[in-house]
């Protein structure tokens, strides 16, 4: 199986090989009619020669290398986070440890052919970083497809049909593939600049190799909040969120919610607000030190230590914690450069010693360790060229990272949009625009689970009546407790979306459908899923709470009367 994440179209060498595009991550910025698109490509095919990638463009683009750190940081910083607070009414014996909810440990909530192409089809043919690329005229489908075929960019069945809308006079295609000898792990993000007022994702073309419910993650920088211009907008029903488990079912909720929109074409805004959340994340003052100083290091160990001391290693967060078990790690681009000159011996990697460990403790591994394990270094060679290494790092790491960071300084507002969509629904290319009048959207969400333990106390958390108040204000009852299963099973009758609406380039949202009443009705209705953590009746807990409150008042009055006698 191959996984890829980028916009455009993956073109495997064999049309019969099923290709699967798992997702797309793109950051768009627009300045003076020039769109800058940072595109993350993820592909897990076994051979570099299997990789090919196509992107239709309105004009001859300029191409630069990007950095995967951008997406790691951007993803973590703006990621939706669902936190559940716990509250206790009455004498809750289990409240002291304040750990459990739904019978499970509480979550922190941290969301956590290489032919030369001697014809008029080719505009540019060059290489950059690990890629060979070509910009092709797209005014003739036959010529373009022939060139791709001649150059081993085999086009999967179906592409012939979907490529049609992108073929016209003055149009271009960017074709990308890896150098021979590169590994698929070298898929560095690319940055494409092209003239256009509004960015678009060529989903119709993508449909050829996409997987069901493919995730599309878009960030838009600008002067105000970004909107999907020709797709609907969905606000999810937050009663479906698995609050006790930090929104672990988030992606399923998104799929259900956008699936309710007409044509299943809708985006969810996950974050809309200041871009300052990314300030100095990528381009902190002094980061990377000085290339001249780096090039002046005289030993490999000193060279590597300089890297670790000057921001070439980062702590990258993702859902569930730091990638790779935590700690500071060199970016994949930095490691790719180092591996070219001073590779980690394969025997060490086989033993589970990471490249970061090897470079960080280079003297140990090439000294004491090597003396004790000489066999691990059999055949190992290295070529320490600090000048060239420093220049390579500048080109592939420093410049792309600082340029990406500068985008957040130039544009004050950042919007994160997300959807999932299946190939059969990819019949329209989404275009993104702006409506600065729309309000901010926080990526941090909070609900409160309140346990009602009663006057006489309750030490069994699992069976204590409880009520969840979601951020949208809905009350979800657990009259028989939250159970011990540790899972949250909302009613299947609940809709996925709170609202589906149209966002225009000015004015307030136009509501297409509003499920508020339906959600309230389901929550207060007679339907009972029968699960221990089923959504129950809103009135039931309210009634219980009222009775308990009345009992407290009554007992208080009785005591006062007794005291006055």
Q: In a 3-state reduction of DSSP, which class is residue 159?
A: helix
Burial of 347-373, coded b for 16+ CB within 10 Å and e otherwise, reads: ebeeeebbbbbbbbbbeebbeebbeee
Out of 3, 44, 49, 58, point to the residue binding another protein (CB under 8 A): 58
Per CB under 8 A, the segment of 222-230, 250-258, 411-419, 458-466 that binds another protein is 222-230
User: Which of 69/429 has CB closer to another protein?
Assistant: 429
Q: In a 3-state reduction of DSSP, which class is residue 272?
A: strand
Out of 83, 137, 229, 445, point to the residue binding another protein (CB under 8 A): 229
Q: Does 563 bind another protein (CB under 8 A)?
A: no
Q: Does 337 bind another protein (CB under 8 A)?
A: no
Q: Does 164 bind another protein (CB under 8 A)?
A: yes
Out of 14, 160, 161, 197, point to the residue binding another protein (CB under 8 A): 197
Q: What angle do CA 221, 227, 231 make, to 5 degrees?
A: 135
User: Which of 171/485 has CB closer to another protein?
Assistant: 171
Per CB under 8 A, the segment of 14-22, 163-171, 249-257, 335-343 that binds another protein is 163-171
Which residues within the stretch 432-461 sit at the binding site for another protein (CB under 8 A)? 433-434
Please name the helix (run of DSSP H) or strand (run of DSSP E) that holds residue 63, with its range, or none.
strand 62-65
Q: What is the DSSP string of 87-133?
A: EEEEEEGGGTT--EETTEEPP--TT-------STTEEEEEEETTEEE
Q: Shortest gap between Cβ of 269 and another protein (angstroms)?
A: 16
Out of 33, 286, 352, 439, point to the residue binding another protein (CB under 8 A): 33
User: Which of 48/167 has CB closer to another protein?
Assistant: 167
Site map for another protein, 388-427, x if CB under 8 A? ----------------------------------------
Per CB under 8 A, the segment of 12-20, 61-69, 112-120, 158-166 that binds another protein is 158-166
Residue 29 token pair: 């910025």
Out of 200, 258, 338, 498, point to the residue binding another protein (CB under 8 A): 200
User: Which of 171/388 has CB closer to another protein?
Assistant: 171
- Whole-angstrom CA distances from 309 to 23, 298, 302, 340, 367 are 34, 16, 10, 21, 22
Strand blocks (E) in 422-488: 432-434, 444-458, 466-469, 475-478
Per CB under 8 A, the segment of 46-54, 98-106, 169-177, 269-277 that binds another protein is 169-177
Site map for another protein, 230-249, x if CB under 8 A? xxx-----------------
Strand pairing report for 4-5 and 21-31: parallel
Out of 429, 449, 487, 523, point to the residue binding another protein (CB under 8 A): 429
Which of 431, 345, 331 lies closest to 382, judged by CA?
Answer: 345
Strand blocks (E) in 308-427: 313-314, 317-318, 321-322, 329-330, 413-421
Contact 190/64 with Cβ under 8 angstroms? Answer: yes
Q: Shortest gap between Cβ of 424 and another protein (angstroms)?
A: 17
Q: What is the layout of strands, in order, in the sheet containing 444-458?
A: 81-92, 444-458, 466-469, 475-478
**Sign of the alpha-carbon torsion through 5, 9, 13, 18:** positive
Q: What angle do CA 191, 192, 198 make, to 5 degrees?
A: 120
Q: Does 506 bind another protein (CB under 8 A)?
A: yes
Please report, as ranges, the residues that interact with another protein according to CB under 8 A: 32-33, 56-58, 164-166, 168-171, 195-198, 200, 202, 204, 223, 229-232, 428-429, 431, 433-434, 502, 504-506
């Amino acid at each position: 199986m191959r996984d890829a994440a980028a916009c455009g179209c993956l073109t495997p060498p064999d049309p019969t090989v099923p290709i699967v595009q798992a997702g797309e991550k793109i950051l768009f910025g627009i300045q003076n009619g020039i769109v800058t698109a940072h595109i993350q490509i993820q592909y897990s095919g076994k051979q570099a020669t299997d990789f090919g990638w196509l992107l239709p463009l309105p004009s001859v683009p300029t191409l630069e290398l990007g950095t995967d750190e951008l997406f790691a940081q951007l993803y973590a910083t703006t990621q939706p986070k669902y936190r559940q607070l716990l509250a206790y009414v009455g004498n809750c014996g289990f409240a002291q440890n304040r750990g459990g909810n739904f019978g499970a440990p509480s979550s922190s909530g941290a969301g956590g052919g290489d032919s030369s192409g001697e014809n008029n089809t080719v505009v540019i043919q060059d290489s950059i970083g690990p890629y060979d690329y070509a910009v092709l005229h797209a005014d003739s489908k036959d010529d373009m497809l022939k060139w791709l075929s001649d150059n081993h960019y085999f086009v999967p069945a179906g592409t012939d049909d979907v490529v049609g809308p992108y073929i016209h006079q003055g149009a271009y295609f960017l074709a990308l593939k890896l150098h021979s000898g590169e590994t698929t792990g070298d898929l560095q993000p690319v940055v494409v600049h092209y003239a256009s007022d509004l960015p678009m994702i060529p989903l119709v073309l993508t449909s050829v190799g996409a997987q069901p419910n493919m995730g599309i993650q878009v960030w838009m920088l600008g002067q105000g909040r970004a909107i999907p211009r020709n797709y609907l907008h969905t606000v999810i029903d937050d009663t479906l969120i698995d609050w006790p488990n930090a929104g672990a079912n988030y992606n399923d909720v998104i799929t259900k919610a956008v699936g309710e929109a007409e044509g299943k074409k809708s985006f969810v805004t996950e974050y809309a607000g200041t871009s300052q959340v990314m300030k100095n994340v990528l381009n902190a003052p002094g980061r990377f030190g000085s290339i001249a100083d780096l090039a002046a290091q005289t030993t490999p160990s000193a060279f590597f230590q300089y890297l670790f001391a000057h921001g070439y290693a980062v702590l990258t967060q993702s859902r569930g914690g730091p990638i790779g078990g935590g700690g500071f790690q060199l970016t994949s681009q930095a490691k790719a450069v180092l591996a070219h000159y001073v590779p980690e011996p394969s025997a060490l990697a086989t033993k589970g010693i990471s490249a970061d460990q090897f470079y960080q403790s280079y003297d140990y591994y090439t000294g004491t360790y090597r003396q004790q394990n000489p066999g691990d270094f059999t055949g190992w060679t290295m070529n320490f060229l600090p000048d060239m290494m420093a220049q390579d790092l500048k080109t592939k790491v420093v410049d792309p990272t600082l340029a990406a960071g500068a985008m957040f300084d130039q544009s004050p507002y950042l919007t994160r949009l997300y959807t999932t969509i299946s190939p059969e629904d990819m019949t329209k290319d989404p275009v993104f625009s702006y409506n600065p009048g729309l309000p901010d959207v926080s990526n941090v969400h909070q609900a409160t689970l309140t346990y009602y333990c009663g006057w006489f106390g309750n030490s069994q958390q699992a069976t204590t009546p409880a009520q969840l108040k979601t951020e949208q204000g809905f009350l979800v009852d657990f009259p028989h407790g939250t159970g011990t299963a540790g899972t949250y099973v909302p009613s299947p009758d609940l809709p996925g979306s709170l609202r589906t609406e149209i966002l225009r380039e000015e004015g307030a949202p136009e509501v297409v459908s509003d499920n508020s009443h339906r959600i309230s009705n389901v929550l207060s209705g007679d339907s009972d899923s029968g699960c221990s953590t089923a959504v129950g009746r809103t009135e039931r807990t309210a009634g219980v709470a009222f009775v308990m409150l009345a009992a407290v008042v009554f007992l208080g009055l009785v005591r006062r009367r007794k005291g006055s006698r």
